[in-house]
Chains A and B, each alone.
Chain A
Amino acid sequence: MTTAQLTPVIVAVPLAVAAALAVVGRWLPRAVRDGVGLLTAAGAVALSALFIAATADTRLVEWVGGWRPVQGHSVGIVFVVDRLGASLALLVSALVLIALIYSTKYFEDVESHYHVLMLAFLGGMSGFALTGDLFDMFVFFELMGTAAYALTGYKVEEKAPVQAALNFGVVNSLGAYVTVVGIALIYARTGELGLAQVGDALHGEHADGLVVAAFVLIITGWLVKAAVAPFHFWLADAHAMAPAPVCTLFSGVMVVLGVYGAMRVYTVSFADVLPEPDVRRALLVVGVVTAVVGALMCFLQSHLKRMLAFSTIAHVGLFLCAAATLTPDGVGGAAAYVAGHAGIKAALFLCCGVLLNRFASVDEVHLHGRGRSLRLLTWLWMICGLALAGLPPFGTFTGKSLGEEALVASGYHWGPLLFVLVSAVTAGTVLRAGLRVFFGVGERVRHDDAPGPESENEEPETEHETRLAHTPIQMTAAIIMLMLGSLAVGVVPALATHVAEAGARFLDGADYIRQALTSASASPLEPESVTSWTEEGLLLSALSVLLAAIVAVASTHARQVTRGREIAPSFVRGIRAVHSGHVGDYVAWLLVGVAGIAALVGVPLT
């Protein structure tokens, strides 16, 4: 059996185990269910590590069931694994593993469907990262979506999670249907569904209205999942209300898969038809808007998980900007940033989970000074905050400086400014919350002064009858493992070179098509040495960290953030009012977004 033949296993086994658990899980003791879940996730980690090792200078191509293409045409389904896809699969399974370790103590009593949903989520996300077929991407998208909607509404006895799950589900499903329409259009033109076959059929074609429409509609679904503005509204609701271990998966990898999907579809299927500068401009505009809106909204939150959710939106904007350069360094930088960010953000969400377990609240106003007794957590939180700003040698530093470099090299000299400001504001906000919660800095706001709606959602999210008196070792260990993971991304030597190589392989759509459709071997890459430890990179990171500290200290004393919105400038009030929590509004914004992206891509071509 070759490694390529193992690729469908990483999808099939978690799904099969999930199905088995769904049937017999209720009769199994908790320890067995936990054990089965952990073992399956650990197996997925091992498999994806194997794929990474096997894709050093090639791609793995597996036509499931042996339905290989005949003269470039096929009705079969293909898995095409390159290093970037395999790395994403590793990130998915590692995060699921850590989330399950954390869950063993986080939930006092957990229903067996929790494990079923987590494993289905694992299968769906890995499948999305590894498949080479447009329609399969949609199926895996909906599979991970359905698991995610159900996990968001896991606490069905409470108000807000149910509403959040509905908002999340309706918006994402609508995005998926828009994608299906796009897939249908491209099938009408080419008669193919595989990414490679579509790319092959469109080779040398003219970019007419149908192709542009198909591209825009297809990437709409993926960008809804990526939570780019103006599709981002569901994310804050879902992240604020889902259980903390589930949030690690949402923020760490699920949203990133959306960016990955959009980039994959462009580089393999549409790169020949749609000119690069055109698509790059569209994605950069979307990315910048997302980053700015995310950072601004992050700063305005006092609900810790909602704050982290908006920080994720801001960072997705940065990932998109870096990847949109369509250069190996840019894509590689985005990949390193994703990995570094995943560890840090997931660790922060798990810290929120600990706070919730101890104090039944995740509002920085309510928690003011109450975290003083948690010494270890204090330091973990503050280090994570600094790492979010790009503190070397965390993975966020590597990704951030590679991304900045790539933007400058492509002629976008505003790139470093955007990266520094956005990472400083989001990290500064996290540090501000840390100063308030763990050190009691700043003025304590009386409960009735605290603004609005977040404080109404103070129901504890665990099923503990009594709050935990101390933090279990499993929960602390999960947080530390995530931070070490992020650190590893930053300190592993030559990682920057490896991600740039993976980026170059990812961008070579023509080679992807050739390898998928014929059994040709991949073309060799030109060796290139890349490092993130440049003077500019270090300088910009120091600047980010410094600015973050200033934002943090300055805003702990600013009353407007905690004290009502009436003194906030009107545009800030406006942008808050837009985040209405109303599913109808979100759908209206989705239509606006589709029209906007269509105009950005289509108008310059006419």
Chain B
Amino acid sequence: MRMLLFCCAGWLLLIGCYGIVVSRNLIHTVICLVVCQSSTYLILLGIGYRSGGTAPVFSDTSPSTVVDPVVQALCLTDVVVSATVIALFLALALQAHKQHGTVDPDELTSLRG
């Protein structure tokens, strides 16, 4: 079961990269980057999962098995970082559309050689 999760994560990373390579639209490129990033959430949560574990909350009861809270904190940080980065990229894609009149990376030709 956990193997499936890791395979999924690897698949997401690669398919996201494939998407960026063949992308014909900058918005699509940025979303593919989000797909790549999703693989990191999956792999982190997969690593922290414990069979039969509950949420790592210790206020009134002390459960015997809990999932790893550290990876959840990492995921949260990861989400915050990506939200910033993706917002910036989408803004840049908008600007690219304004300046170049296109969002097709194949037609952005101001940087060659």
Chain A interface residues toward B at CB < 8 A: 75, 135, 139, 142, 145-146, 149-150, 153, 156-160, 162-167, 169-170, 173-174, 177-178, 180-181, 184-185, 187-188, 193, 237, 240-241, 300, 452-454, 456-457, 565, 576-577, 579-585, 587-588, 590-591
Contacts and interface: CB of A to CB of B under 8 A. Distances in A.
A139 B100 CA distance: 33
A174 B88 contact: no
B47 interface: yes
Contacts of B113: 300, 452-454, 565, 576-577, 579
A184 B92 contact: no
Contacts of A159: 99-100, 108, 110
Given A584-B23, A587-B21, 4 more contacts: A149-B85, A170-B33, A174-B36, A300-B113
Contacts of B71: 184, 187
Contacts of A139: 77, 81
Contact of A584 (B20, B77, B96): B20
B65 to A, nearest CB: 16
Contact of A156 (B78, B81, B95, B110): B95
Interface string B30-67: 10010011011001100100000000000000000000
Contacts, number: 137
A346 to B, nearest CB: 23
**9 smallest beta-carbon distances between A and B, as pairs:** A581-B111, A160-B110, A584-B21, A453-B112, A188-B47, A180-B40, A587-B20, A576-B113, A159-B99
Contacts of B40: 177, 180-181, 184
Nearest to A451: B113
B15 interface: no
A187 B111 CA distance: 40
A64 B90 CA distance: 35
Contacts of A156: 92, 95
Given A146-B85, A181-B43, A184-B47, A162 B92 contact: yes
Interface residues of B, number: 42
Q: Tell me what chain A mostly uses at the interface: helix, strand, loop, or mixed.
A: helix
B99 to A, nearest CB: 5
Given A153-B92, A188-B47, A163 B20 contact: no
A340 B111 CA distance: 30
A174 B35 CA distance: 11
Nearest to A171: B20
A571 to B, nearest CB: 14
Given A177-B13, A184-B44, A587-B21, A240 B111 contact: yes
Contact of A170 (B20, B43, B108): B20
Contacts of A188: 47
B84 to A, nearest CB: 6
Contact of B109 (A167, A300, A453): A453
Contacts of A164: 111
A153 B20 contact: no
Nearest to B108: A163
Contacts of B88: 146, 149-150, 169
B92 A581 contact: no
A344 B70 CA distance: 44
Contacts of B33: 170, 173-174
Contact of A167 (B17, B74, B111): B111
Nearest to A166: B92
A187 B74 CA distance: 11
B8 interface: no
Contacts of B47: 184, 187-188
A584 B20 CA distance: 5
Nearest to A174: B36
A584 B106 CA distance: 9
Contacts of B17: 174, 587-588, 590-591
18 contacts: A149-B85, A149-B88, A149-B89, A150-B88, A156-B95, A166-B96, A167-B111, A169-B88, A170-B30, A170-B33, A170-B89, A180-B78, A181-B9, A184-B71, A187-B70, A240-B111, A585-B21, A587-B21
Contacts of B77: 135, 139
For B26, B92, B106, the residue with the greatest tally of chain A CB atoms inside 10 Å of its CB is B92
For B23, B36, B81, B109, the residue with the greatest tally of chain A CB atoms inside 10 Å of its CB is B81
B105 A582 contact: yes
A159 B43 CA distance: 38
A167 B95 CA distance: 14
Contacts of A582: 105-106, 108
A146 B70 contact: no
Given A184-B40, A452-B113, A591-B17, A157 B85 contact: no
A150 B29 CA distance: 18
A160 B17 CA distance: 24
B7 interface: no
B10 to A, nearest CB: 9
Given A177-B13, A177-B37, A584-B21, A166 B110 contact: no
Given A149-B88, A583-B105, A170 B29 contact: yes
Interface string B86-102: 00110011011001100
For A149, A177, A241, the residue with the greatest tally of chain B CB atoms inside 10 Å of its CB is A177
B111 A153 contact: no
A163 B112 contact: no
A169 B26 CA distance: 12
B13 A181 contact: yes
B5 to A, nearest CB: 12
